[in-house]
Structure 1
């Protein structure tokens, strides 16, 4: 009976990762709509220039993120020698995601006339995805702090687990705030371009921070579950099972969001209008 309860609990805890993947699949549909709207009406010269400028900016900053990842790999080799081999991929990923977040948080202001209407958050991204990202960051920070306080994490690992998600969250909130304080474009031909750029930024930063929070959260939950599983208790202890299941669920969700993040990296482009001719 205890094993059956553990299996049911494991499956139940895995459900949120499936729901999150479904939410991002719907976000992919929003991406298609936003990108397709750019093709319906040709943008002005200012709008076309903004598209090219934003694409160049994002590419350059993401390249700096790749350089940062390589530097982190070098630092880990110097500090940890052979033990750093397991940190090469995480270091590169952190650098790349830092580049994504910096690129979106420092987007140059579009050089077109601004209108009077300011966009609403729900027009850019589903609030459910946004608040899931924030909850994942809070959960990761709380878990890292508790494990550090309990002596289950080394100081270096704990500080990294606290600083990296917190810094990413801060950059994401800066990028999201810039999206709602800046009015929409005044020229009707540039409005679809403006909305598409905002949609891209909102989903990029939300996905990047979700990955930064969910995968470390999953690893921390697995550590906590294994530590608790080593205890000798009377009867069936479901807490370690729930922690391990939660760890697998968070890692699975983080990998799913990473897949969708890769599809949002491509910049907004404009080709010949689909209604032309």
Structure 2
């Protein structure tokens, strides 16, 4: 009976990760609609220049993030030698996702004329509120899991700072980018409205996905660590270790899934393929 309960509990804890993956799969439909709307209109010259400028900005900052990640890998090799081999992928991933977040949080403001009086879109026009609040909940859960383990001495200071600071900073950058996308006034020219909506949609999904991944992966690792810790399990059947292990697997699987969807959003908004190659 205990094993049956453990299996059912394991499956139940995996459900949130499955639902999150499905929500991001559905978000792909929003991307298709936004991209299709841009293709159906001919933007103004300033709208075309905005698309080109935004695409170049995103590529440059993401490349900077990649270079920072590579520098972090080299630094870990210098400091830790062979022991750094397990840090290469996390450090490089941190650099890449930091580049995504910085690119969206620092996007240049479009130079087209705006509506008078200024009109602004709703958040629901850009991204599902469920995805945004899931990002916030995952970051909060990561903080709630990290702090007790750090205080109890289960985590070293270096690991504790990394597991705490990276998701929180990512969340702050994501909120800045979301706020900028929400407060920017709509363009005055109707032909630029689909372009503007697509840019906001891309930004909202990119930063939400990046912050979610940076919180889910360390959260899953810490939950797995706590679940398989022999000192944390009692004799006989114990529900808590099973729940921790299941939660860890669910968080890691969801993090990988969201990262996969994030890759599909990296392609910039296009009105004409030639517009971004000139």
Instruction: Give TM class, smaller chain.
Output: over 0.9
1:235 CA displacement: 4.3
Answer yes or no: is 1:245 the counterpart of 2:239.
no
Residue 148 of structure 2 is aligned with which of 125, 130, 146? 146
1:267 aligns with 2:250: no
TM-score, normalised via structure 2 length: 0.95
CA deviation string 1:216-265 (max 9, x = no partner)? 100000111112x4456354211000000000000000000000000000
Q: Over aligned residues, Cα RMSD in angstroms?
A: 1.1
What SS does structure 1 have at the residue aligned with 2:54?
helix
SS state at 1:189 partner: helix
Higher mean Cα deviation, 31-40 or 142-151? 142-151
Secondary structure of the 2:198 match is helix
Q: TM-score, normalised by structure 1?
A: 0.96
2:168 corresponds to: 166
Contact 2:232 2:241 in 1 (8 A): no
Partner of 1:275: none
Q: Distance in 1 between matches of 2:78 and 2:50?
A: 42
Deviation, 1:66, is: 0.5
Structure 2: how far apart are the matches of 1:260 and 1:186? Answer: 32
Deviates more, 1:74-83 or 1:183-192: 74-83
Aligned equivalent of 2:221: 219
Aligned to 1:32: 32
Confirm or deny: 8 A CA contact 2:123 2:182 kept in the other structure. yes
Q: Describe the superposition over 1:188-218 as per-residue Cα deviations: whole angstroms up to 9, x where unpaired.
A: 0000000000000000000000000001100
Secondary structure at the aligned position of 1:190 is classed as helix
Kindly report structure 1 stretches of 4+ aligned residues shifted beyond 4 Å: none
Mark the runs of 5 or more structure 2 residues left unpaired by the alignment.
274-278
Matched positions, count = 271
- Return the alpha-carbon distance in structure 2 between the equivalents of residues 212 and 135 of structure 1: 13
**Residue of structure 2 equivalent to 1:84:** 84
Residues 232/128 of structure 1: CA separation in 2 closer, same or farther (3 Å cut): closer
Counterparts of 1:219 and 1:232 in 2: how far apart (Å)?
Answer: 17
**Which residue is equivalent to 1:208?**
210
SS in 2 for 1:233: coil
For the residues of structure 2 that align with 1:231 and 1:39, how far apart are their CA atoms? 56
